[in-house]
Homo-oligomer: A and B are copies of this chain.
Amino acid sequence: MPLIVTGTVGIDSVYTPHGHAEKVLGGSCTYFAAAASFYGPVRLVAAVGGDFDQQYRDVFKAFPNIDTAGLEVRPRSKTFAWGGKYHANMNSRETLYTELGVLTEPPPAIPAAYKGSEFVFLANTHPGVQLDLLGQFPQRRLAVADTMDLWINSARAELVALLKKVDGVVLNYDEAELFTRKNNPVTAARHMLADHGGTNGALKFVVVKKGEHGCLFVHKDGVAALPAYPAEQVVDPTGAGDTFAGGMMGYIAQQGAEGRLKNPASFEIVQQALAHGTVVASFNIESFTLSRLQTLKKGELDARLREFSKMVRV
């Protein structure tokens, strides 16, 4: 049954060479869910504060497949807020401020109706919290986690424990190197699989995200690689990684819903899912916040996927 995502819903202020957007809807859960919603229903679990105004709720309404019953409002708390500035080439950014707000409090409760979720994406947060959330989905068929350098440096033991329990992990190029101390991304991913998969745990695949350079996919049964969609209109890269993961998981969950999924973590299905993630993400970066995804039609997505397929044909 439906895909679920846990993580952050936040309020972003983003500055790029193309302009800026202040106090707009953001957060890993938000971007993931918006992307995944093109493939089917997606449940969202996150906490927000009393400052989470109607304007933000209205954005979610543009995505009828997003189930926001798991959005827990804490009137006396503040919503997670992030401000970032992108540099001229759009490939690097600096964080201007981070106001953790509700993220310093206990994580949101999983609604009882969500406990049967089969496709689980644990968007980036403390790996101890991710582990706790994961345990609340006993019927999961596929669980994938995101992480970041902060946790690699500050919560390594919990991250290691998490990696042994999920089927897959997505992380950035630099993070794969940081975590393994291997300066080749394929080698780094192979080490992660050896240490946390096979007889050592459940990990079956690692997706190394490279931003404008695409992704590497190292699975226990093979290796693949994809370029990014060659985008010219890059207005705001915020959420690129989360929409990539959303498209990827959305596609897999859709295959499951349509009864076409024998093994949700197989090399073949995840490889195809990466192309969907790539294409959804390529739309997201075309404008600030979720603006582009709010108007995106499934037909446009399908057309770009066909175009992308021709672009990488060998």
Contact = CB atoms under 8 A, between A and B. Distances in A.
A314 interface: yes
Interface string A165-193: 00000000000000000011111001000
B227 A227 contact: yes
A36 interface: no
Contacts of A225: 214, 227-230, 311-312
Interface string A292-311: 00000000000001001111
B313 A271 contact: yes
A218 B187 CA distance: 31
Interface of A: 88-90, 183-187, 190, 210, 213-214, 216, 218, 222-232, 234, 271-272, 275, 305, 308-314
Contacts of A184: 231-232, 234
Nearest to A183: B89
A272 B187 contact: no
Contact of A314 (B185, B213, B226): B226
Nearest to A185: B230
Contacts of A187: 232
Contact of A312 (B90, B185, B186, B226): B226
B314 A305 contact: yes
A116 B111 CA distance: 76
Nearest to A210: B213
A207 B187 CA distance: 28
A234 B224 CA distance: 18
Contacts of A305: 314
